[in-house]
Structure 1
Amino acid sequence: MEIVILGGRRQIGRLAADAIEQLLRRKPEAVLGLATGSSPLPVYDELAARHEQGLDFSRASAFALDEYVGLPAGHPESYREVVRREFTNRVNIAPENVHGPDGRVDDIPAACEAYEQAIAAAGGVDLQLLGLGTDGHIGFNEPGSSFASRTRIKSLVEQTRRDNARFFNSLSEVPHHVITQGLGTIMGARHVILLATGAQKAQAVRDFVEGPVAAICPASVLQFHPHATVLLDEAAASGLKLADFYRHTYENKPAWQGL
């Protein structure tokens, strides 16, 4: 797991966009894994700007990490709409190539299995973007989630609902259930880039980067991933004991290695 500490959100957005651009130029039909929330927004802004300069998404496809259960079609805070608004409508990726879990179906287990099959049929995710919850969750895999879990329905802990209430008019509007890719699904991506900024993420960052691999901190499973990159600002990295080592390693990294 590579830890990169940068000056702020814009630098993080540029570096993550660099990795996605390099992937698309090497493999135009790449499969991208898309996260929502505030963490990936600088990445999407940077990619949209690069698309205006010629970066082509026409052969790419994408799979969203998760979706709320029960929100009506077209709800502005459904992740299907957020992904469209913040990213896919701003580039030339084909709408039919953008996929997300369906939180409105009656048979949720069947929909989850179908989503897993769709990811497999696409050849798997080449690069997965992730945010980080203040309790260490990735996707909506809350503490206690199985490391082998696949796409499924999950109940949100109250901390997550409170964290997400800023996107709704009130806490009462935040759904109690979601469909999320599982930790096992996420671990199947060939490259994972996790983004975390702000002092409120420092404890979770320290726990998953330097703590034990444990279900109480779902993101810690990334310690086992063969190609995981963690992009942090100084505030999010403030609890890391080995921060100076991570800085030294990145500053002296051979240019040919890439991200």
Structure 2
Amino acid sequence: MQVIKVKDYAEMSEKACEWFVGKLKEMETPVLGLATGSTPEGLYDHLIQKYKDGEISFQDVKTFNLDEYIGLAGDNPNSYRYFMNEKLFNNIDIKQENTFVPNGVATDLEKECTDYEQLIKDAGGIDIQLLGIGSNGHIGFNEPGAKFDGRTHIENLAQATIDANARFFDSMDDVPKQAVTMGIGSIIESKEILLLASGENKADAIAGVIDGELTEALPASILKQHPRVTIIADEAALAKVK
């Protein structure tokens, strides 16, 4: 596990972009696992700029997002499909048909989960998985207690996660209580993983990943067992690491 310490969110985003661009240039047909939320937004802004500057192309890239809220269609501004289109896909040269996000309004959600697993397998697996981390240590929407061998599934969101997401919705009643998420077993099969963390609210989780025990109570602790993990985190997020 390589830990890269940076000053703040801005430097985290810049360093993550450097790392990503270096990796992309090494691969002919990259398959990327992507994340949503505030953590990767700065990285996506930098990747868009690199594309506009002619430094990288996404023509031959396939992407698989970690998760999607159940009950939100892709044209809903709070859906993760909408987020990805607005924050990245619509601003680069990626082919829309090569961008995959779970369908949160599928008529058969169990089938959606197994189909998503098959799509990843058919693509040859994920080369680089980008992760954020929840304050409770969740990765994707795998909440504390999630099984380390879990596959893509329907997850009931923890109250802490619902509370954290409430700021994006008009009322608490509108916040989704479930999501389709890649399982920890799906995530850990990625060939390489990049975890980004910024802010003091992530400090306990990051300390647990780096210094703590391997436990399903902290889903991200599974990263201890992956041979190729890079963590880029700012001073605040690393404040409690020994």
TM-score w.r.t. structure 1 length?
A: 0.91
Q: CA offset at residue 73 of structure 1?
A: 4.1
Partner of 1:17: 17
Q: Does 1:88 align with 2:98?
A: no
1:132–1:219 Cα contact (<8 Å) kept: yes
Partner of 1:183: 184
Q: CA offset at residue 23 of structure 1?
A: 2.2
Partner of 1:132: 133
Q: Does 1:48 align with 2:48?
A: yes
Q: Give me the whole-angstrom Cα distance separating, in 2, the residues matched to 1:19 and 1:28.
A: 16
Q: Structure 2: which 5+ residue stretches go unaligned?
A: none
Partner of 1:219: 220
Amino acid in structure 1 at the alignment position of 2:150 = S
Amino acid in structure 2 at the alignment position of 1:26 = E
SS at match of 1:20: helix
SS at match of 1:208: helix
SS at match of 1:118: helix
Q: CA offset at residue 171 of structure 1?
A: 1.9
Partner of 2:112: 111
Partner of 2:29: 29
Q: CA offset at residue 170 of structure 1?
A: 2.0
Partner of 2:63: 62
Partner of 2:5: 5
Q: Give me the whole-angstrom Cα distance separating, in 2, the residues matched to 1:49 and 1:138.
A: 27
1:28–1:57 Cα contact (<8 Å) kept: no
Amino acid in structure 2 at the alignment position of 1:89 = N
Partner of 1:151: 152
Q: Give me the whole-angstrom Cα distance separating, in 1, the residues matched to 2:101 and 2:73.
A: 15
How many residue pairs get aligned? The number is 241
Q: CA offset at residue 28 of structure 1?
A: 3.1
Q: Give me the whole-angstrom Cα distance separating, in 2, the residues matched to 1:189 and 1:60.
A: 15
Partner of 1:200: 201
SS at match of 2:25: helix
SS at match of 1:153: strand
Amino acid in structure 2 at the alignment position of 1:99 = F
Q: Give me the whole-angstrom Cα distance separating, in 2, the residues matched to 1:53 and 1:208.
A: 36
2:152–2:180 Cα contact (<8 Å) kept: yes
Deviates most, 165-174 or 230-239? 165-174
Q: Give me the whole-angstrom Cα distance separating, in 2, the residues matched to 1:22 and 1:3.
A: 17
Q: Give me the whole-angstrom Cα distance separating, in 2, the residues matched to 1:21 and 1:73.
A: 28
Q: CA offset at residue 71 of structure 1?
A: 1.4
2:73–2:103 Cα contact (<8 Å) kept: no
Amino acid in structure 2 at the alignment position of 1:47 = L
CA shift digits 1:62-108 (9 cap, x unpaired): 00000000113410010011011111111111000000111111211
Amino acid in structure 2 at the alignment position of 1:161 = I
Q: CA offset at residue 109 of structure 1?
A: 1.2
Q: Give me the whole-angstrom Cα distance separating, in 2, the residues matched to 1:9 and 1:190.
A: 26
2:70–2:105 Cα contact (<8 Å) kept: yes
CA shift digits 1:46-69 (9 cap, x unpaired): 100100111111111100000000
Q: After TM superposition, what 4+ stretches of structure 1 lie above 4 angstroms from structure 2?
A: none
2:74–2:81 Cα contact (<8 Å) kept: no
Q: Give me the whole-angstrom Cα distance separating, in 2, the residues matched to 1:225 and 1:144.
A: 19
Partner of 1:235: 236
Amino acid in structure 1 at the alignment position of 2:82 = E
- Percentage identity across aligned positions? 40
Q: Give me the whole-angstrom Cα distance separating, in 1, the residues matched to 2:217 and 2:186.
A: 18
